[in-house]
């Protein structure tokens, strides 16, 4: 019985490309009493794995919170796995307005204490006494009421690239930070103002609306299904968007466009930009906004220090990270003295530029390829790249593809190589291979063999 992933992200991406089938990105949540979260988790994993569903899901005694990528042809079968549980019958699935076949590359279902880290003691108030749900048209109408205060219950790195016009956008890094701040800021308006809240998919507002009603706010409203559902409704019903910019999402896309307005800047040069990235340095992983020019110049790094670090031998990089929380254990969200054009807190509704029309974002296979290994080092003077062979074998005469976020996709014919320090025509798993390249490689680059 398989209860864990057996493929790497790279292998999964290759299978998705080779299948060439449309996948849907979606999210959903439900608060319910789950007696045995571990069994619930295992049952879901088994069923979803059979449907080639990928994504990140948290389950707890209080319910489920999921962001998923599902093959379009398996969408109804996936829905059936949910509706087998009474508390998820008729559940709303927030389907993204933009799809990317690589939005998720692993299936992760984790048992947590809570499905959203809100820092609240649920025993101290009625979590079912929630605010009034508003659809897109109703939400737009209440925003026009001068008695309305609209609050963004997302974090600063989310609201910076897009938000509802006139919204209060707290300068916080976590949801739990925003609750007491907003309560204090609006304490004089509990009786006579409409407190209208929104978030990405609606789950944060479910708990927040109940909390604020418990705090004495009389008129509490929330955007049904969050920004994701709002974007779908305004498109289907041809409604004016009161949201401006891009909606941050928690998958590989890091955002989906709601309007063509760019309201944020590249954190390094100040050019209008709303594309998030994570610093290439494995000991940093800072989340920040970076334009294509800075991405090329800084090799996906947030600072000169990180740029220097990624060019050190891997063993030296590991030494620098020793004893520190790095990688997936830390997710620094865009706060650094190196980012000269970072904005958070009170944000402008002014559009700085208009985004170019996106190309078809659906990932389609361009060349058939198999993953062979990864970059280990680059020696600038002789223009030599060092790679570790992890899968299959490599032969002189092979057509290879070196691919990475900064390098792009570079194809070359391998006419000569050194294997473990000696010239050889074949390299096998575990071998260290060097060969001359007409371009620089990075530690994030992958080595593929192109199949004819």
Which residues are designated catalytic?
199
| 252, 102 Cβ separation under 8 angstroms | yes
b/e sequence 210-229, b meaning 16+ C-beta within 10 Å: bbbbebebebbbbbbbbbbb
CA distance 155 to 401: 39
| 2, 47 Cβ separation under 8 angstroms | no
CA distance 224 to 134: 5
CA distance 412 to 400: 6
Q: Within 10 A of 346 (CB to CB), how many other CB atoms are there?
A: 9
| 408, 441 Cβ separation under 8 angstroms | no
């Amino acid at each position: 019985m398989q209860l864990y992933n057996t493929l790497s992200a790279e292998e999964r991406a290759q299978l998705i490309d080779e299948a060439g089938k449309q996948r849907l990105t979606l999210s959903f949540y439900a608060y319910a009493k789950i007696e045995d979260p571990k069994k619930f988790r295992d049952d879901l994993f088994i069923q979803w794995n059979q449907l080639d569903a990928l994504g990140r899901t948290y389950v707890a005694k209080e319910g489920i919170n999921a962001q998923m990528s599902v093959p379009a042809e398996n969408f109804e079968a996936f829905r059936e796995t949910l509706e087998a549980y009474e508390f998820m019958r008729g559940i709303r699935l927030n389907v993204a307005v933009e799809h990317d076949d690589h939005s998720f590359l692993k299936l992760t279902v984790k048992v947590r204490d809570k499905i959203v880290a809100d820092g609240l003691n649920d025993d101290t108030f009625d979590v079912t006494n929630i605010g009034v749900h508003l659809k897109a048209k109703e939400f737009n109408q209440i925003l026009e009421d001068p008695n309305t205060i609209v609050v963004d219950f997302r974090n600063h790195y989310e609201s910076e690239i897009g938000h509802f016009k006139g919204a209060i956008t707290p300068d916080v890094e976590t949801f739990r930070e925003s609750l007491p701040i907003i309560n204090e800021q609006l304490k004089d308006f509990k009786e006579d103002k409409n407190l209208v809240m929104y978030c990405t998919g609606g789950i944060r507002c479910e708990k927040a609306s109940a909390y604020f009603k418990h705090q004495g706010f009389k008129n509490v409203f929330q955007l049904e299904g969050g920004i994701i559902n709002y974007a779908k409704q305004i498109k289907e019903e041809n409604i004016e968007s009161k949201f401006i910019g891009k909606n941050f999402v928690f998958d590989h896309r890091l955002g989906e466009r709601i309007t063509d307005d760019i309201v944020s800047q590249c954190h390094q040069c100040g050019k209008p930009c709303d594309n998030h990235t994570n610093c290439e340095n494995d000991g940093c992983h800072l989340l920040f906004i970076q334009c294509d020019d800075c991405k090329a110049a800084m090799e996906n790094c947030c600072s000169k220090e990180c740029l220097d670090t990624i060019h050190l031998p891997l063993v030296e990089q590991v030494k620098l990270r020793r004893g520190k929380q790095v990688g997936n254990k830390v997710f620094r969200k865009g706060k650094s003295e190196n980012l000269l054009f970072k904005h958070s807190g009170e944000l402008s509704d002014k559009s700085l530029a208009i985004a170019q029309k996106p190309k078809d974002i659906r990932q389609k296979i361009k060349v058939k390829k198999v993953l062979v290994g990864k970059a280990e080092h680059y020696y600038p003077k002789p223009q030599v790249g060092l790679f570790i062979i992890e899968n299959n074998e490599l032969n002189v005469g092979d057509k290879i593809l070196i691919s990475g976020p900064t390098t792009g996709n570079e194809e070359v014919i391998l006419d000569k190589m050194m294997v473990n320090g000696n010239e050889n025509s074949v390299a096998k798993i575990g071998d260290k291979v060097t060969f001359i390249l007409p371009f620089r490689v990075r530690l994030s680059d992958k080595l593929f063999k192109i199949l004819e």
